[in-house]
Chain A
Amino acid sequence: MSSTASVNMPESEMIVTNLEYYPGMAIEKHLSLVQGSSVRAKHAGRDFMASLKSIFGGELAGYTELLHESREEALDRMIQQAQSVGANAVLNVRFSTSSIASGAAEIFVYGTAVLLQEEL
């Protein structure tokens, strides 16, 4: 289903987790706080369907997908930032969503970029 996501991108071997540590691996270095964000607006076609749906109720699949896409984008940006500081993992990741205007939402994701090393 399009509204579910696995976060680890194949091209980047970045570990993304919202736990604070990784059993079996030691944190060698805390690098920095990394973040990614994405602002999206709804588009007219989806909005029309949504206004129809609002009479009957139920899931608005168009919006689910829209928010999913922007979340992927925010995560992508965060991972890029983590790569640029030389991290191999982002720990303690959190999401936050805020609607900044009617019809537009900001998705924000942040975490701690670290260098993990196998425990000896």
Chain B
Amino acid sequence: MIEYALFAVLLVLGFGFGQLNEQRHYKSIKKREQEMSVLPAVASKHPPTDTQYQQQMVIGSVVVASDYFKSFLANLVNVFGGRIRSYEPLLDRGRREAILRLKQEASKQGASMVFNVKYETSRIGGGVTTIEVMAYGTALIPAQNSVVHA
């Protein structure tokens, strides 16, 4: 009996805090995406050659975990198969956060854009689904604030 009670408590806690966490995170992501929209991060491999740029690799990464409630839902879906809606926001949050951190680092270096951005997603072992998302790319820093030709 006590096990069921504990289970129910965990579900409720997971649902409540998980939802709260997600909403907060999305709010902050949207705000920062607006701020960072001046600094494009693209997947192209060929940087513009009009100006001289200094190159520097930048990385952004984040580890995010699903909550108890959503993992429970996902396990249920696993029985029947189909789209696991409860994990989709998790991956979306991870990717967007990683890119934001990448851009944050790039803007700290005085970059005007980031080229050849790549994602890496990996699952981190443990009970509840935990993923790491890493984004990396090459920040292009306009040459006027740094000497390219030494």
- What is the CB-to-nearest-CB distance from A97 to chain B, in angstroms, rounded to a whole number? 5
Q: Mark A73-117, 1 if CB is under 8 A from B, else 0.
A: 000000000000000000001111111001101000000000000
How many chain A residues touch B (CB < 8 A): the figure is 44
CA distance A18 to B68 in the complex (A): 38
Q: Mark B19-58, 1 if CB is under 8 A from A, else 0.
A: 0011001000000000000000000011101001101111
Q: Chain A contact residues: over half helix, strand or loop, or mixed?
A: mixed
B102's nearest neighbour on chain A, judged by CB, is: A4
How many chain B residues touch A (CB < 8 A): the figure is 57
**B62 with A59: CB separation less than 8 A:** yes
Give A14-31 interface residues, CB cut-off 8 Å to B. 15-20, 22-24
Chain A residues with CB under 8 A of B126 = 47, 50-51, 54, 102
CA distance A71 to B136 in the complex (A): 12
Interface status of A44 (Cβ within 8 A of chain B): no
Chain A residues with CB under 8 A of B123 = 99
CA distance A99 to B124 in the complex (A): 7
